Structure formats: C-alpha cells, structure tokens
Amino acid sequence: MTQVNRPLSPHLQVYKWRVHMMTSIMHRATSVALAAGTILLVWWLTAIATSQSSFDSLQAMLGHWAGRVVLFGITYAAMQHMASGVRHLLMDTGALLELGANRMSAILTYVFAAVSTLVIWACAYGMFGGLV
C-alpha cells in the first residue's frame, strides 16, 4: 500500500489554550448550568404551589451548605453567561476583534462574574440575614 504524505488536520495539541477559548467553552457550560438552575426554579415554584411542608423541606435543602454552593454556582453561571453574551454582542458589532482587546474582554468576563456574584450574595446576606 502506498503512503501519501498529506498534511494532517490541526489537532487540539497544536493550539495553545488561550483565555478567549476558555471563555467560549464557559459560555456553553454556563448555559447548561442555567438550564439545570431553571429546573431547580421550577421545583421551587412547584413546592410553593403544592404545600407548606414541601416548600419547607426544599428550603431546608437549599439552606444546607451544599444547597448554598449550588445556588452560588448558579449565580456565578448567570453572571458569567451574561458577561460573555455582552462580549459576543460587542464582537458582533466589529469591536473587540483585535487580539489584545479580545483577550482583555475575555478576562473581564471572569472578573465581572466573580465580583457581581460576591456583591449579589453579600447584598442577600445583608438584607435577609442569609438566603434561606
């Protein structure tokens, strides 16, 4: 059998991981997390409509440290997804297409998501003395 020396398609090993690549992947991952969060929201609304005991048991579950970690993650996913969506909207207008601006905007999505998540949770604890 004759072997033809053709160029191979680039593999993932050829590309260096950059922050804008990770931001694109995180945008997709946060959409999955937000879908799961929507299911949790529907569960919570159903518990409200069903009975006081089902609402109380769900509130107790969400008030547990593991439930709060899940809620914190959903909050972070919402903020990251929103920041990434605004970034993509700006890129659709032709802005942020230069490598430096693209890299900086990708970094700023993570900074915005972290800061806004912490502010939201600090406000929630400040106003309600806790979330649950």
In this prediction the pTM is 0.86
The model's pLDDT over 26-53, given as tens digits with 9 standing for 90+, comes to 999 999 999 999 999 999 999 999 999 9
Fold of 19-128: 3 helical TM bundles of succinate and fumarate reductases (1.20.1300)
Return the domain boundaries, the chain.
Answer: 19-128
pLDDT in tens, 106-120: 999 999 999 999 999
Beta carbons within 8 Å of 8's beta carbon, 6+ residues apart: none
- The C-alpha atoms of residue 37 and residue 76 are separated, in whole angstroms, by 11
Locate 125 and state its tokens. Answer: 């604890």
